[in-house]
Amino acid sequence: MIENKHKPDKLTGVKGMNDILPCDVGLWRFLENAIKSILHAYGYRNIRTPILEYTSLFRRSIGEVTDIVTKEMYSFVDSLNGQQLTMRPENTAAVVRAAIEHNLLYDGPKRLWYIGPMFRHERPQRGRYRQFHQVGVEALGFAGPDVDAEIILMCQRLWSDLGLTGIRLELNSLGHKHERAAHRDQLITYLEKYIELLDNDSKHRLYTNPLRVLDTKNPALQDIAANAPKIIDFLGEESLGHFKGVQSLLSANNVSFTINPRLVRGLDYYNMTVFEWVTDRLGAQGSVGGGGRYDPLIKQLGGKPALACGWALGIERILELLREDNPVPSDDGCDVYIVYQGDVAHSRAFVMAEQLRDTGLDVVLHCSTDNTSVSLRSQMRFADVSGAMYAVIIGDDEVRQDEVSIKLLRSDRTITNADRIQQRVPTKCLAEFLTNLIAAKTKKY
């Protein structure tokens, strides 16, 4: 029989959906912990929604003619029951759906936050992928400009805590529905004068979603968009008063911003205040995140009318900025790496590792890779690569003396020659000895 030597095809991940490798996890955890700390400080509570939702949820909330719904959603028919499902392209609609379904607003407004993967079928580029991660907040049931300002201040505090610079805030107001309708009519009339100059996307949007024409990235259309009717000129007293209230609170807290009359956001549910955090450091995709008010959405999805606002930030985009500005935190190091020589030492080391973990220490026990014994010298090389702070060594001599040897591998402080000398410690005192040595350590998760 002839042996088939054909190698199977190499499998790869789906384009635009990336693995997060162990060497990158430290930076992800660093960012996630910073975000969670700030959200907790502002009184926001975590909510977790499914990745799959009924497609109708996003069609009704985001808008039938938006790019997300018409071009980018991963939707399919469930083969078991014929229902149309979609992998969430954003999470505001899902949070609002959950709030309605579980009657979360029955006892008053809610401050909620989420974090997790979203999915859009678009061209992958720097900081923008088909599976991407967002953190977002949703303040449900709040009417005044104070909560608009609050959620913006949360972002400003995050940039400050992370040491990120070069992120600027742009503001606009989309007003109420009747004000947008009046502006829409004038905008269509204006754009029709230049219809021969519009690109295909803008022509398609002209009668379905003309506000999105103002957000065009086509250099040839910038002058047309810049001179188009501005929605702020159509706002009534109430809408202007709300917008000025947001600006006043931001200025009182020394938050710089610019008014961008062309800022519209890409989702139909927005009204009143809208904002984006943008940077010039990420190429063409300069938006780090944004949000605003979506007062009609809760009623639109079948709930009792309630006002609301929120934002979402792109995790991958923030990580790109962090990699440029700061050293990448390591997630590799443990407290102790245990090496041993001989069967008796191996058994003793196994028990010892569990006892040390019981005290709260992070412990890695050396395990063979090919069922052959490995010299202490080789094991020490593994210990050093592991990122451990201390090595615990159990050899024949240590077994006879009922002791272990401890060696410092690395430290946050300068290591002296004295530190490098191995210390002998009675086995029964090991846990207490190591715990005292690492008393000031901070847990990494």
Mean pLDDT on 401-425: 67
- Tell me the pLDDT band of 442, cut-offs 50, 70 and 90: very low
Taken in order of first residue, the domains within the chain and their CATH numbers are 22-175+235-325 (3.30.930.10), 336-437 (3.40.50.800)
Mean pLDDT on 212-217: 77
What tokens were used for 309? 């606002």
pLDDT of residue 139: 96
Mean pLDDT of the chain: 85
Examine the pLDDT at 365 and tell me if it is beyond 50: yes
Read off the amino acid at residue 287: S
The predicted-structure confidence for 240-269, as pLDDT tens digits, reads as follows 999 999 999 999 999 999 999 888 776 678
The share of the chain scoring above pLDDT 70, in percent, equals 91
pLDDT of residue 379: 84
Residue with the bigger pLDDT between 126 and 406: it is 406
| Residues 23, 315 contacting (CB under 8 angstroms) | no
The predicted-structure confidence for 130-175, as pLDDT tens digits, reads as follows 999 999 999 999 998 999 999 999 999 999 999 888 899 999 999 9
- Tell me the pLDDT band of 444, cut-offs 50, 70 and 90: very low
Highest mean pLDDT among 62-71, 74-83, 390-399: 74-83
- Tell me the pLDDT band of 417, cut-offs 50, 70 and 90: very low
**Rounded to 5 degrees, what angle do the CA atoms 164, 166, 167 make?**
80
Q: How far apart are CA 148 and CA 270, in angstroms?
A: 13
pLDDT of residue 420: 47
Mean pLDDT on 290-319: 93
Mean pLDDT on 393-412: 81
Sheet with 271-278: list strands edge to edge. 45-46, 110-119, 131-140, 308-314, 287-293, 271-278, 168-173, 258-259
Least confident of 168-177, 187-196, 365-374: 365-374
In a 10 Å sphere around its CB, with 0-12 CB exposed, 13-18 middle and 19+ buried, how is residue 143 labelled?
middle
pLDDT of residue 389: 85
Partnered with residue 364 across adjacent β-strands are: 337
